[in-house]
Amino acid sequence: MKKDLDVIGELTELDKKHFLHPTSPIQQQQEQGPTFIFTEGKGVYLYDLAGNKVIDGMSSLWNVNIGHGRTELGQAAAEQMSKLAFTSSFATFSNEPAIRLAAKLAEVAPGDLSATFFTSGGSEANDTAYKLARHYWMLKGEPRRKKIISRTKSYHGVSMGATSATGLKPFRDFTNSLAPDFYYTNNLSSQSLRDVIEAEGPETIAAFIAEPIQGAGGVHIAPETYFIEVRKICDEYGILFITDEVITGFGRTGTYFGVEHYGVTPDMMCFAKGVTSGYAPLGGVMLSKDIHQQFIELSTGTLLHGYTYSGHPMGCAVALKNLEILENEQLMNNAKIMGEEMLKGFRSIQRMCQIVGEVRGLGLMGAVEIVKNKSSRERFSTPLAPVIVSEAAKRGLICRSVVFDGQDTIVFAPPLIISNKEIKSLIEILYDSIHAIEQKQLH
Ligand code: PMP
The whole-number pLDDT of residue 1 equals 61
* pLDDT number for residue 202: 98
**Mean pLDDT in the chain?**
97
157 C-alpha to ligand 1 centroid (Å): 5
- Give the position, in ligand 1's atom list, of the atom nearest the Cα of 214: 3
Q: Is the CB of 244 under 6 A from ligand 1?
A: yes
Ligand 1: does its nearest atom lie under 6 Å from the Cβ of 58?
A: no
The pLDDT tens digits of the residues spanning 96-153 come to 999 999 999 999 999 999 999 999 999 999 999 999 999 999 999 999 999 999 999 9
The 3-class secondary structure across 13-43, one letter per residue, is HHHHHHCCCCCCCHHHHHHHCCCCCEEEEEE
Instruction: Give the SS3 label for residue 166.
Output: coil
Tell me if 281 CB under 6 Å of ligand 1. no
CA angle 292, 298, 300 (to 5 degrees): 115
DSSP code for 64: -
Type of residue found at 37:
I
35-66+330-442 homologous superfamily:
Aspartate Aminotransferase, domain 1 (3.90.1150.10)
211 C-beta closer than 6 A to ligand 1: yes
Distance in angstroms (rounded) separating the CA atoms of residues 303 and 290 = 17
DSSP letters of 212-235?
Answer: SEE-TTT-EE--TTHHHHHHHHHH
Closest atom of ligand 1 to CA, residue 244: 3
CATH 3.90.1150.10 maps onto the chain at: 35-66+330-442
45-92 pLDDT, tens digit per residue, is 999 999 999 999 999 999 999 999 999 999 999 999 999 999 999 999
For 371-417, write each residue's pLDDT tens digit.
999 989 999 999 999 999 999 999 999 999 999 999 999 999 999 99
* Ligand 1 pocket check for 409: Cβ under 6 Å: no
Of 410, 406, 408, 427, which Cα lies nearest the Cα of 367?
Answer: 410
Atom in ligand 1 nearest the alpha carbon of residue 281:
15
Pocket flag, ligand 1, residue 130 (CB < 6 Å): no
| % of the chain surpassing 70 pLDDT | 99
CATH 3.40.640.10 domain position(s) in the chain: 71-328
CATH number of 71-328: 3.40.640.10
Q: What per-residue confidence (pLDDT) applies to 2?
A: 62
| Closest of 279, 258, 283 to residue 270, by C-alpha | 283
Q: What is the pLDDT of residue 162?
A: 98
Q: Summarize the confidence of residues 216-236 as an average pLDDT.
A: 98
Rounded to two decimals, the pTM is: 0.98
Work out the percent of the chain whose per-residue pLDDT is above 90.
98
